[in-house]
């Protein structure tokens, strides 16, 4: 269900500030991450300063995902602050610098859900020093060595190895 935030009062009156706390639906985000709960709380501030309407949102949430290297489950706290300049209508020159709020209304769920998904790290690791899995046996190398011989010779170089051994 999409809820449109009515910003007419802010757009039409300079030095006007609107604050609210809302829940952003993330349950249908479609990402390979799971959010704790179906919504993420967002503290929103919309302010008209000298005719420019600035949208600011602070979001904090817990996200669960599998590490990209070792596949261990991870639960991590995230906090982001998003800022956008709002305009009632985009012009051809405005490009990606502004967010359009047609009829002074803004779909905050869609905007913040997209912001959150874009802000999440593309490489999700349990820790920066994650060693991953052994390519031979699949053991999690963060838990210790597996004992596999990792230095296998490239089979394409076997003939060269034989020549070197003859010398």
Who's near 63: CB < 8 A, 6+ residues apart? 33, 34, 35, 36, 75, 76, 78, 120
- Would you place residue 164 in the very low, low, confident or very high pLDDT band (cuts 50, 70, 90)? confident
Whether 108 maps to a domain, the answer reads yes
Whether 162 maps to a domain, the answer reads no
State mean pLDDT over 74-89.
92
Percent residues over pLDDT 90 in the chain:
44
Q: What is the pTM of this model?
A: 0.77
Q: Which of 41-45, 94-98, 113-117 has the lowest mean pLDDT?
A: 94-98
Whether 147 maps to a domain, the answer reads no
Residue (of 146, 116, 121) closest to 131 by Cα position: 146
- Give yes or no for a contact between 80 and 69, defined as CB atoms under 8 angstroms apart: no
Residue 34: the pLDDT is: 81
Whether 43 maps to a domain, the answer reads yes
How many residues would you count in the chain?
167
Does 56 score more than 80 pLDDT?
yes
Q: What is the rounded CA–CA span in Å between residue 139 and residue 46?
A: 50
Whether 16 maps to a domain, the answer reads yes
Whether 66 maps to a domain, the answer reads yes
Quote the strand ranges of the chain, DSSP E: 4-6, 17-25, 34-35, 39-49, 52-66, 73-87, 98-100, 105-107
Whether 144 maps to a domain, the answer reads no
Residue (of 59, 85, 65, 82) closest to 130 by Cα position: 65
Q: What is the rounded CA–CA span in Å between residue 88 and residue 69?
A: 45
Domains identified in the chain, total number = 1
Whether 44 maps to a domain, the answer reads yes
By residue range, what is the domain housing residue 21? 4-130
């Amino acid at each position: 269900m999409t809820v449109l935030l009515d910003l007419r009062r802010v757009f039409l009156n300079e030095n006007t500030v609107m604050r609210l706390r809302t829940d952003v639906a993330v349950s249908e985000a479609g990402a390979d991450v799971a959010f704790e709960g179906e919504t993420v709380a967002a503290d929103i501030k919309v302010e008209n300063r000298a005719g420019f309407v600035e949208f600011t949102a602070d979001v904090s949430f817990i996200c669960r995902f599998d590490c990209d290297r070792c596949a261990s489950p991870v639960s991590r706290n995230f906090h982001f602050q998003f800022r956008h300049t709002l305009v009632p209508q985009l012009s051809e020159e405005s490009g990606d610098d502004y967010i359009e709020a047609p009829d002074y209304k803004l779909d905050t769920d869609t905007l913040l859900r997209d912001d959150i998904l874009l802000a999440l790290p593309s490489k999700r690791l349990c820790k920066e020093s994650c060693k991953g899995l052994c390519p031979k046996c699949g053991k999690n190398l963060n838990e210790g060595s597996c004992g596999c011989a990792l230095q296998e010779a490239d089979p394409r170089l076997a003939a060269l190895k034989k020549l070197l051994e003859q010398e």
